[in-house]
Homo-oligomer: A and B are copies of this chain.
Amino acid sequence: MKIELICTGSELLSGKVNTNAAYIGSRLSEIGLELSSITDVGDKKYDLLQEFKRAFERSNVVITTGGLGPTFDDITVETAAECLNLEIYSDKKVLKSIEEYFLKRGINSAPKNNERQSNIIKGAKVLKNCLGTAPGQMLHFKFKNGEKKCRKTLFLLPGPPREMKRIFEENIEPFLKSYSIGIKKTAVLHVFGISESAVEEMIKPIMKEAMFANSKFVEFGILASGSVIDVKFSVSGTDELIVDETINNLKLRLNNVLKDNIFGADKDTLASVVGRLLFENKKTVSFAESCTGGMLAAAITDIPGSSLYFKNSVVAYSNESKIKLLNVRERTLINFGAVSGETAKEMAEGILKLSGSDYAFSVTGIAGPDGGTKEKPIGLVYIGFTDKKETKSFRFNFNGTRDDVRERAVNTVLDLLRRNLESV
């Protein structure tokens, strides 16, 4: 079965990264299917019409993203209909749900433009969009290829990623899953604390052996996203038991080599793992942040239910607020500077006292792009830790831009906390 993807939007041709395509490609590959091609095309009717024609001729399933918005340059529905010689009608149910969407927001009548979003291709099934106004559409049709007519399926998806993802997961994935011959399973291990090339060096023997023994049925990928390294591997076959066994065996072997540098698998994040560990151990944490400026608290509160283990956080950017809010001694700041192990320790002790949590971490550093000196260069970060029993500080030199330094500092705190909790 040939599945192809067409992504519309002029922004994709002038610099916007197409994350929708990566998402769909990745999800399909997890159920053992593959896109045969991805085409990005602008919001021009002629161009899109040509793409549709070719796609309907050569593929069994055509998926589109984008072009379902309310504005004039959203032309996917009308162009697909034109290519298939089908009519468009305004669906009353959809129109009502658009009106309700605006009512909920206190707008009494939906903007005239949004009415366009109720336009459905005749014969298509409406795929409900609970996160926005543009529904998706699924259309089964026959397309003339030379002499014979072939059965095809077209999916229209909205462009905003979260809307697209929801409809994809609820409608397209279940539909396509039934077409996927054989089994393909994918697992991801998340690693923190060692470099991408160190990871590769460590797991090379395992990769080689697995790929030699199973030829094309095992695939590996190593991908750095920020400071987290993902080891992704997939196994395909016809016997689910063997596929599962191979996956588990690989996991075991990778675990033996990468050890506690692995912090989680699949959908885990550092924040979710730390949250689970805190919850299980009935412990609470609080933060005192300088250079990370709230990112650490934002990361931990990204997880629903974090109020159970996250007490609070103080973002103390200035010396004055380090003294006033966190009780850092003025003498410490004068003698050692705001970016020092001593200050980091006092910040951690200050927030622990204030919040009454079991653990407290602090971050103070020079994120750049300015403010670096020879003694204290950009990227220098001190992390303070206290748990009532002991107070420590750690010194790091992170590389990269302001964003990189801040991201690394946040993940390093979360990873220190994880390792601490795992050793309890």
Stretch at the interface among A65-73, A170-178, A247-255: A65-73
The distance in angstroms between the C-alpha atoms of A49 and B354, with both chains bound, is 62
Q: Decide if B160 touches A224 in the complex (CB within 8 Å).
A: yes
CB closest chain-B residue, reference A166: B401
CB closest chain-B residue, reference A17: B22
The distance in angstroms between the C-alpha atoms of A197 and B107, with both chains bound, is 13
Task: Collect the chain B residues with CB atoms within 8 Å of residue A400's CB.
Answer: 131, 162
Q: How far is the CB of A26 from chain B (nearest CB, A)?
A: 3
Q: Please give the number of chain A residues whose Cβ is less than 8 angstroms from any Cβ of chain B in the complex.
A: 101
Interface centre among A201, A306, A370 (most CB of B within 10 A): A201
B39, B131, B224, B293: which contacts A39 (Cβ < 8 A)?
B39
Q: How far is the CB of A283 from chain B (nearest CB, A)?
A: 15
CB closest chain-B residue, reference A316: B312
Interface centre among A294, A299, A307, A402 (most CB of B within 10 A): A294
The distance in angstroms between the C-alpha atoms of A17 and B222, with both chains bound, is 14
Q: Decide if B301 touches A315 in the complex (CB within 8 Å).
A: yes
The distance in angstroms between the C-alpha atoms of A317 and B285, with both chains bound, is 12
Contact with B along A279-316 (1 / 0, CB 8 A): 00000000101001111111111101111001111111
Identical chains bound together, number: 2
> A37 at the A/B interface (Cβ < 8 Å)?
yes
> A262 at the A/B interface (Cβ < 8 Å)?
no
The distance in angstroms between the C-alpha atoms of A10 and B403, with both chains bound, is 26
Task: Collect the chain B residues with CB atoms within 8 Å of residue A169's CB.
Answer: none
The distance in angstroms between the C-alpha atoms of A157 and B410, with both chains bound, is 28
Task: Collect the chain B residues with CB atoms within 8 Å of residue A69's CB.
Answer: 196
**In chain A between 128 and 172, which residues have their CB closer than 8 angstroms to a CB of chain B?**
131, 160, 162
Given contacts A37-B13, A298-B294, A321-B312, contact A70 B200 (CB under 8 A): yes
Given contacts A11-B221, A17-B18, A397-B105, contact A293 B306 (CB under 8 A): yes
The distance in angstroms between the C-alpha atoms of A114 and B199, with both chains bound, is 12
Task: Collect the chain B residues with CB atoms within 8 Å of residue A73's CB.
Answer: 220-222
> A38 at the A/B interface (Cβ < 8 Å)?
yes
Q: Decide if B37 touches A39 in the complex (CB within 8 Å).
A: yes
Given contacts A197-B70, A315-B313, contact A293 B304 (CB under 8 A): no
Q: Decide if A70 touches B12 in the complex (CB within 8 Å).
A: no
> A358 at the A/B interface (Cβ < 8 Å)?
no
> A374 at the A/B interface (Cβ < 8 Å)?
no
Q: How far is the CB of A361 from chain B (nearest CB, A)?
A: 13
Stretch at the interface among A27-35, A340-348, A381-389: A27-35
> A325 at the A/B interface (Cβ < 8 Å)?
yes
> A423 at the A/B interface (Cβ < 8 Å)?
no
The distance in angstroms between the C-alpha atoms of A34 and B44, with both chains bound, is 13
> A42 at the A/B interface (Cβ < 8 Å)?
yes
Task: Collect the chain B residues with CB atoms within 8 Å of residue A397's CB.
Answer: 104-106
Interface centre among A34, A287, A297 (most CB of B within 10 A): A297
Task: Collect the chain B residues with CB atoms within 8 Å of residue A25's CB.
Answer: 12-16
> A337 at the A/B interface (Cβ < 8 Å)?
no
Across the A-B interface, the 6 shortest Cβ-Cβ residue pairs: A293-B301, A294-B297, A15-B26, A294-B294, A14-B29, A313-B315
**Known contacts A36-B42, A113-B201, A293-B297, then 13 further A-B pairs from the complex at CB < 8 Å, ordered by chain A residue:** A11-B221, A11-B223, A17-B22, A21-B40, A111-B195, A113-B200, A160-B224, A289-B294, A294-B297, A294-B299, A304-B367, A311-B321, A315-B315
- The contact sample of 18 A-B pairs, CB cut-off 8 A, is A11-B221, A13-B29, A18-B38, A38-B38, A38-B40, A72-B200, A105-B397, A105-B399, A111-B198, A113-B197, A287-B315, A293-B298, A293-B300, A293-B301, A294-B315, A305-B370, A311-B317, A312-B321
